[in-house]
Structure 1
């Protein structure tokens, strides 16, 4: 399984990155499958640097804030008018109300349905499969319904927090994961509101708690807004967890492989 960072800027697109979007690729032995986790503001343009959008097999939306879902409308235009034609409906998984939310974003005078896409509802703890991927959503803590996503393929486990503050759902989400991608939009002492986002420290604390159930191989921090210095967030995390930790950048790709209890994951050159 490979993870490609399409966009990682938090809350808004930044000068060097679109908002949140992460591409997972894995083979079923016959062909490669491509699943997109979130498609936030500005991310559809960057996605085209990595794949032909017509080759996507599904999109999974962690929640319905614009920085995680808005460019689904651009994908809809591509599928309706682009060179590949619409083809079969694209599965889009998301919280309850995703189809209506995106129809409102796609319309001007009134909602314009997202034709060519079939919307399916995520439920806490209810796993589903897509080709080689096994996906389990876990409800996390954010002002709107939000899910962390645990993805398994080829014996490897990837965990993506979505947007969240500290909450019980992070433990089963992260436990035993070979690679954890955790949002860390807030900074300790600067951002005092709770129930919105993790800090680097709280992301690392969640990993430490999850490791009581199974070792974590690597921690990647994401969703930093443009006004947050990456070195501050990284320093917070490294004070708490001594495993390999870094802040992601757009365009990077990581192999997600079974770590067998050891810490580490390979970045693709």
Structure 2
């Protein structure tokens, strides 16, 4: 068990482990690649990229993206390029270690057609809030001056967890908590949700192997996206007031994607 975590909470770990189905590790070990995958195309990387993008409002359909990416069928560039960028970020993650430098590099890839180049892979300098479609503020992220310190702590904890010996259930717990803490800091101008979902899966792959890339977590979050956002909001309106004791419903969404 890791010790001395500074920003990633572990207080819910015992309750979380008690809630997990005993079949989860067996179900994870049964994950395998799809027949549609080739040497140059990954079906499940497409699934991850499409559904993580759809959570953020992109309208692309999985079937269309597979035809575009696997078979070279042309579509309008605006329809595919942000998803192509995220696909490239997932591919990068599959071939590189999980650390602060590579997370920034992955963000540069996934935000290529979202942000100006100066903001790609760099912490934001402006206040950040998340609003509802009707213009209501539903979350105020860490202040710009708080972001560097918060991310230093995040990366320190991530390094500790990456090097720690963890059980299967502990890996899922910390992966989901890493996802949640990152999205609550909201370090980038945009691409925070896409990054958080990628880092979650990247951590699992780092700890227990490449089958993590076949886990349909992004699809599950999209299919339950109203609940996904409700569970994120349970922690509170402002960064300085976050109550991670309310995080259990969110944390349990990740193992649910295996069921």
Whether TM exceeds 0.5 here: the answer is no
Counting helix residues as a fraction of each chain, which structure ranks higher?
2
Instruction: Say which structure, 1 or 2, has more relative contact order (CA 8 Å, 6+ apart).
Output: 2
Q: TM-score, normalised by structure 1?
A: 0.27
More strand, by proportion: 1
